Amino acid sequence: MDLISHFPVILVINLFIFAFAMPLISRRSNNWATIAASFSLILSFAISITLLLKVLDTGAISYYLGGWPPPFGIEFYIDYLSAYMLIVLTGMGLLIFYYGTASLPFEIGRHMVGWYYTLYLLLIGAMLGIAITNDLFNLFVFMEISAIAACAIISIKKDRECLEASFKYLILSAMGTGCYLLAVALIYMITGVLNFDMVREVLVDNIALYPNNVLVALALIGVCFCVKAALFPLHVWLPDAHASAPSPSSAVLSGLVIKIYAIALIHLMFRAFPLELFYQVPLTEIFLWLGAIAMILGSIFAMTQDIFKRMLAYSSVAQIGYVFLGIGLFNPTALLGGLLHILNHAIMKSMLFMIAGIIIYTKGLKKVREFDGMGSQLRWTMTAFIVGSASMVGIPITGGFISKWYLATGAFEADRPFFIGVIIASSLLNAIYYFPIAIRAFLGEPKPENLPVRPVLKHMLIPVVILTVLVFYIGMSPQEVVGILELAIDKLFAQ
Amino acid sequence: MEIIDNLVQNYFYLVAIILFIIGMHTMLTHSNLVKKVIAMNIMDTSVFLLFVAVGYVHGGAPPLVEIPAGTETYINPLPSVLILTGIIVALSVTAFALSLVTKIYEYYGTCDADEIADLRSEE
Amino acid sequence: MDDQLIITIIMFVIMFPILMTAVIMYGGQHSDKLRNFLSLFTVLITFIGVLLLYPEAVSGRVFEYQLFEVLPGLAVSFRLDILSYCLVIISSFVWLLAAIYSIGYMAKEHSQLRYYAVLIFTLGSCLGIFLAGDFFTLFIFFELMSLIAYVLVIHEETAEALKAGYKYLVVTIIGGLAIFFGVIICFEAAGTVSIGEGPLITEASSLAWMAFFAFLIGFGIKAGMFPLHVWLPDAHPVAPSPASALLSGIMLKTGAYGLLRMVFDVFSPELMQAINLHAVMMVLGIITIILGSAVALTQDDIKRRLAYSSIGQMGYVVLGMTVFNEQVLTGDIFHIFTHAIMKSTLFLAAGAIIWKSGIKKVSGMAGLGRQMPVTFGCFTVAAFAMIGIPPLNGFLSKWSLCLGFLEDGYIFFVVILLLSSMLNAMYYLPIILPAFLGKEEIEKDLHVDDEGPAFNINEASKWMLIPMVVLALCVFLFGTFPSNIPFELSNMAAKFLLTGGF
């Protein structure tokens, strides 16, 4: 049995199998559940690496589910961009999971941990599916799975705010999915096929016959992915959802979930629609301006927030604006910056949410103004916070600088230097709300209530340290990642 | 006149779009949580209707293995299959949403989003 | 010495302090003596390393080395030419003396470990700025140095220090972003940002103007040029005195160095004159000179007065960069040397005064000169040099500048220089004269050190005195003999910038 050729489907299916087995395993004990879930995630990570190496070696991989070729069957298509996202998803999924094993028993109670693993593995599996699928309807199915899983990992915490935030997220997400399904219906009406490449073939020849269908479909797809990726002004669900969720959920939501929809959007734009369409339809222009506004307004909102996690959530709104700026500028360099920012932000934001979780765990503090003097007791944590905020601002030798460099260069090449000003203004705004926290943490006077409640768990700190090292690694030698992305972008634009 | 003609001939498209808009509008503006869930269902159902209607071929027979003699074309079975999946997906989302509504009712004592917002801002 | 060794030494003087920071932070946790020893050791070894580069630097050769490539077209590279060497040698020299001084000054302070660690780290990053081979590396080290120096500014952790530090931080970040903008424009215009491969921007376009203003804002903030100087009068006084000496003496010069590189390596002097960019710098330089000297008159706090004086003096450097003949450039670079030495002496002396007597205000320093003769003696020598009295080094740099201005017909600038010298006299003499000749007013503003008995106002400890005296001697030496080493180095650097060789 040629197992290796089935890797793309094993990647996703093993997570689903383990997800459904979790409740049974966790009846035995939580430790077994942790081991099983870790095994599943590590397996997926190993498969992702193998797939990346194979793709770099031999080019894109096309896998037909069940052996049925399109248009009869569903195709999984792994090219450079998908392989890159696979690594990001499984790698970060693993690190956040590692953090979660330490922090979850405290946040949601020991008895719920097994159920949480179920949802987490479902979420990661669904996101992997979104990254590699090549079929319109399959994308819908995976999007729905990930929507349910994402809402559930928020509402698993028995907290009033969590439930309400989760419901809001679900409703808005369902609205987005409804729009997407309508778009698929409209496209199916005129092409009769659902596979990305086949749809594009039909559209390239026949788009002049059915311009309205395609335009409406594009608009609906734009709305759907703007809601799901939390682009301004459809970001309203994000602050509540990310702030009230347990910390590993916040980390995975802010770091991975909103990004995968940006990737799905890129896949649709470049693989399912003819490229010339975007030079005539101002969709990218809309993304560009919305992204720019998001960058500024997200930071401005973040400045006014008192609760730390809400501040980080609004910061995510601003950072997803960078990715959409990259998409909107629509030239290779800017897109490279946007895609690299996906990785950078995943690392930075997950690290910051983990730090928030550590602070809540050790001190029970949620508000920013209570963080004074924390640095003397939580040295490693707050040092990592300084590194994370430096990367957010874009200080050189950290990863954030590299993605900002590419975005700025891309803005220049697209002949729109105004957006360099937007990037710079947004960096400044980021500094204004991140640095005072770090300063006060190290130099402020600890308030009397800041007595240590519990010591930091090793397992909570190790992922934070690993991510800090990654920040510096990407800042100082991003060549490998950039190399993969350049191959990906060449392929995207080469039509 | 041509537009009216087209609309009348393709009335199912029109109905689907109208249902979609009703669903989306209700979902976003009405404050009762259960109404939002119902509206979500209406929205999804409208898209399913559109899908299935698209699959209809004039003069086609149902896609069965044993067919009455004399049929030349079948209707397109693919949309029906897709919609089965879609219905199940919508079902799961509805189930989850309703369980959330139940829990919210337990915690907040009301099913009205505006009242919940008031309660939250009082905290 | 062969090239490989030279390049190793270049990398060494940058990396050694940065790495030793970690060693100091670890080793100094347990023992103060070890920490002090390691700090002094690091600075001394760095200075010796710099001295070893002397014969190669003055031979006129340029050494370039690329460490690694970060992105295609952007690399971290290092470069040693005579201009870099001028700045590197004065930096490491003053740093060495400031470190020795710190041992005495900081003996009773809090958070000394943090202070020494940051002191050594900023030394490494400063040398990194001066030895950078392209604007990207310069930007990296510039950001690092500016951000880490924040810790020095807020060292005292008083409310005033935190406020000044916050202002410093915001302004620094804005400056960093401005330089980032400038580097991007250069990269787009030229495809590379290396120094020494000819001017990066060769045609007058809106791009050139944008890049000019970006760099001007970015480096001007650091150099304390009007109107970007607003952080300086608050930040320099609140830092501990040896740190003030370094901030005023050396870190301002990083901004000036950046501006010099901008003038000569981003735009060429011809381009700047063609599109009148140098006129902008001239105007700003003149306003800076007058503003700095005039406002210094109104300050009573001695460190604030010295800070405004720094602003004025950096105006000379900016003004000198806009006239492109050899005499002026020699004077310009020599003024970097002399101001570093003079201002460090002044700040170190002021620090000794404050440390010993607790008196921060000039009005309260009457009669102190008789009780602290050596300190005030050094202060006087440096102050006279600032005013421009021969045969001190300040006079020599001003003389060189004036001769150069006259050569090109800028008589107005000579007038400005004379005017500001007069202003300098007007705010330095009231410190010196009452100190030696005035009545003692010890009762006012005396704050007693909590530790130990209220001490008599006599001289500060030898750790603090020796650097001051050494610097004062330098002031004297480098002025009296017209062909002294810094002057020759400046002359070579000026020739090198203008013609590419000497």
* Per-domain residue ranges of chain B: 2-122
Q: Which range, of A436-440, C164-168, C204-208, averages the lowest pLDDT?
A: C204-208
Please, which residues 65-84 of chain C have a Cβ atom closer than 8 Å to chain A? 68-71, 74
Write the DSSP assignment of C259-303 as a string of letters: HHHIIIIIS-HHHHHHTTHHHHHHHHHHHHHHHHHHHHHT--BHH
Distance CA C250, CA A327 (A): 44
Amino acid at B35: K
Is A185's Cβ below 8 Å from some Cβ in B?
A: yes
Distance CA A477, CA C68 (A): 9
Q: From its phi and psi, is residue C62 left (phi > 0), alpha (psi between -120 and 50) or beta?
A: beta
**Cβ-contact B36, B27 below 8 angstroms:** yes
Q: For chain A, what is the domain count?
A: 1
Distance CA C287, CA C284 (A): 5
Structure tokens at A86: 């696979």
**Cβ-contact A376, A445 below 8 angstroms:** no
Structure tokens at B86: 């879609």
The distance of Cα A23 from the centroid of its chain, to the nearest Å, equals 26
Distance CA C332, CA C399 (A): 11
* pLDDT attached to residue A31: 86
Distance CA C164, CA C233 (A): 9
Closest of C231, C272, C275, C273 to residue C251, by C-alpha = C231
**Cβ-contact C58, C12 below 8 angstroms:** no
Structure tokens at A447: 């308030």
Is the confidence at residue C356, as pLDDT, over 50? yes
* pLDDT attached to residue C441: 55
Q: A243-265: per-residue pLDDT in tens?
A: 889 999 999 999 999 999 999 99
Is A479's Cβ below 8 Å from some Cβ in C?
A: yes
Average pLDDT over residues A307-336: 92
Supply the mean pLDDT for chain A. 89
Is A13's Cβ below 8 Å from some Cβ in B?
A: no
Distance CA A471, CA B97 (A): 38
* pLDDT attached to residue A475: 87
Answer yes or no: do A479 and C154 touch at CB < 8 A. no
pLDDT band, residue A137 (cuts 50/70/90): very high
Please check whether residue A425 lies inside any domain of the structure.
yes
Please check whether residue A246 lies inside any domain of the structure.
no
pLDDT band, residue A309 (cuts 50/70/90): very high
Write the DSSP assignment of C389-425 as a string of letters: -TTSHHHHHHHHHHHHHHHHT-HHHHHHHHHHHHHHH
Which secondary structure element, helix H or strand E, spans residue A321, and what is its range?
helix A308-329
Rg (alpha carbons) of chain B, rounded to whole number: 20
Distance CA A463, CA A108 (A): 20
Three-state DSSP class for C443?
Answer: coil
C141–chain A nearest CA distance, Å: 9
Chain A residues inside the 8 Å CB shell of B27: 171, 174-175
Neighbours of chain B (3+ CB pairs under 8 A): A
pLDDT band, residue A366 (cuts 50/70/90): confident
Q: Check whether the bond before A248 is cis (ω within 30° of 0).
A: no
**Cβ-contact A232, A294 below 8 angstroms:** yes
DSSP letter (8 states) at residue C251: I
Please check whether residue A47 lies inside any domain of the structure.
no
Interface probe, candidates A405, A407, A490, chain C, greatest C C-beta count within 10 A:
A405
Answer yes or no: do C184 and A412 touch at CB < 8 A. yes
Q: What are phi and psi of C76, to 5 degrees?
A: -90, 115
Which secondary structure element, helix H or strand E, spans residue C169, and what is its range?
helix C159-190
Chain A residues inside the 8 Å CB shell of C144: 396-397
Closest of C182, C142, C220, C8 to residue A397, by C-alpha = C142
Closest of C257, C188, C194 to residue C222, by C-alpha = C257
- Nearest chain B residue to A139 by CA: give it: B86
Q: What are phi and psi of C428, to 5 degrees?
A: -90, -40
Look-up: residue for tokens 């319109």? A136
* pLDDT attached to residue C502: 58
**Cβ-contact C182, C211 below 8 angstroms:** yes
Neighbours of chain A (3+ CB pairs under 8 A): B, C
Distance CA B100, CA A260 (A): 25
Distance CA B23, CA B47 (A): 11
Chain C residues inside the 8 Å CB shell of A440: none
Please check whether residue A200 lies inside any domain of the structure.
no
Domain B2-122 carries which CATH code? 1.10.287.3510
Is the confidence at residue A449, as pLDDT, over 60? yes
Is the confidence at residue A32, as pLDDT, over 50? yes
**CA atoms A198, A199, A201, A205: torsion sign:** positive
- Nearest chain A residue to C139 by CA: give it: A396
Is A139's Cβ below 8 Å from some Cβ in B?
A: no
Q: C305-317: per-residue pLDDT in tens?
A: 899 999 999 999 9
Three-state DSSP class for C446?
Answer: coil
Write the DSSP assignment of A267-300 as a string of letters: HIIIIIS-TTHHHHSTHHHHHHHHHHHHHHHHHH
Chain A residues inside the 8 Å CB shell of B110: none
Which secondary structure element, helix H or strand E, spans residue A428, and what is its range?
helix A418-443
Distance CA B50, CA B44 (A): 10
Amino acid at B92: S
C187–chain A nearest CA distance, Å: 8
Q: How far is CA C195 from CA A363, B66, C79, in A?
A: 50, 82, 8
Look-up: residue for tokens 């290796």? A4
Q: From its phi and psi, is residue C396 left (phi > 0), alpha (psi between -120 and 50) or beta?
A: alpha
A74–chain B nearest CA distance, Å: 12
Please check whether residue A84 lies inside any domain of the structure.
no
**Cβ-contact C120, C19 below 8 angstroms:** no
Q: Which range, of A120-134, A169-183, A360-374, C329-343, averages the lowest pLDDT?
A: A360-374
Distance CA C434, CA C440 (A): 9
Domain that holds residue A389: 282-495
**Cβ-contact C140, C162 below 8 angstroms:** no
Supply the mean pLDDT for chain C. 84
Distance CA A431, CA C174 (A): 10
* Residue C483 CB neighbour total at 10 angstroms: 7
Chain C residues inside the 8 Å CB shell of A427: 173, 177
Q: C111-166: per-residue pLDDT in tens?
A: 788 888 899 999 999 999 999 888 889 999 999 999 889 988 988 888 888 889 98
Please check whether residue A484 lies inside any domain of the structure.
yes
Q: C427-480: per-residue pLDDT in tens?
A: 888 888 888 877 665 544 444 444 433 445 567 777 888 888 888 888 888 878
Chain C residues inside the 8 Å CB shell of A432: 170
C45–chain A nearest CA distance, Å: 27
Distance CA C414, CA C320 (A): 11
* pLDDT attached to residue C453: 37
Answer yes or no: do B104 and A163 touch at CB < 8 A. yes
Distance CA C383, CA C288 (A): 19
Three-state DSSP class for A364?
Answer: coil
Chain B residues inside the 8 Å CB shell of A148: 92-93, 96
Distance CA A101, CA A355 (A): 15
**Cβ-contact C318, C333 below 8 angstroms:** no
Of A420, A427, A476, the CB nearest to C184: A420
Q: Which residues contact B69 (CB under 8 A, 6 or more apart)?
A: none
Distance CA A245, CA A165 (A): 9
Interface probe, candidates C180, C185, C188, chain A, greatest A C-beta count within 10 A:
C180
DSSP letter (8 states) at residue A249: H
Structure tokens at A282: 């101002």
pLDDT band, residue B99 (cuts 50/70/90): very high
Three-state DSSP class for A79?
Answer: coil
Answer yes or no: do A428 and C174 touch at CB < 8 A. yes
Distance CA C120, CA C149 (A): 11
Distance CA A242, CA A237 (A): 9
Chain B residues inside the 8 Å CB shell of A141: 85, 89
* pLDDT attached to residue A20: 92
Look-up: residue for tokens 């000039």? C362
ipTM over 0.90: yes
Answer yes or no: do A432 and C170 touch at CB < 8 A. yes
Average pLDDT over residues B79-98: 92
Three-state DSSP class for C75?
Answer: strand
Answer yes or no: do A174 and B54 touch at CB < 8 A. no
Chain C residues inside the 8 Å CB shell of A396: 136, 139-140, 143-144
Distance CA A415, CA C8 (A): 42
Closest of C452, C478, C201, C237 to residue C354, by C-alpha = C237
Is C181's Cβ below 8 Å from some Cβ in A?
A: yes
Q: B4-37: per-residue pLDDT in tens?
A: 888 788 888 889 999 999 999 999 899 899 999 9
Which secondary structure element, helix H or strand E, spans residue A320, and what is its range?
helix A308-329
**Cβ-contact A17, A121 below 8 angstroms:** no
Look-up: residue for tokens 């392989």? A83
Supply the mean pLDDT for chain B. 86
* pLDDT attached to residue C58: 79
Write the DSSP assignment of B33-91 as a string of letters: HHHHHHHHHHHHHHHHHHHHHHT--TTPBP--SS--TT---B--HHHHHHHHHHHHHHH
Helices marked H in A59-209 = 80-108, 113-132, 136-155, 160-191, 196-206
* pLDDT attached to residue A345: 94
For the CA atoms of C461, C466, C467, C468, what is the dihedral angle to 10 degrees?
80
Answer yes or no: do B20 and A164 touch at CB < 8 A. no
Chain C residues inside the 8 Å CB shell of A393: 173
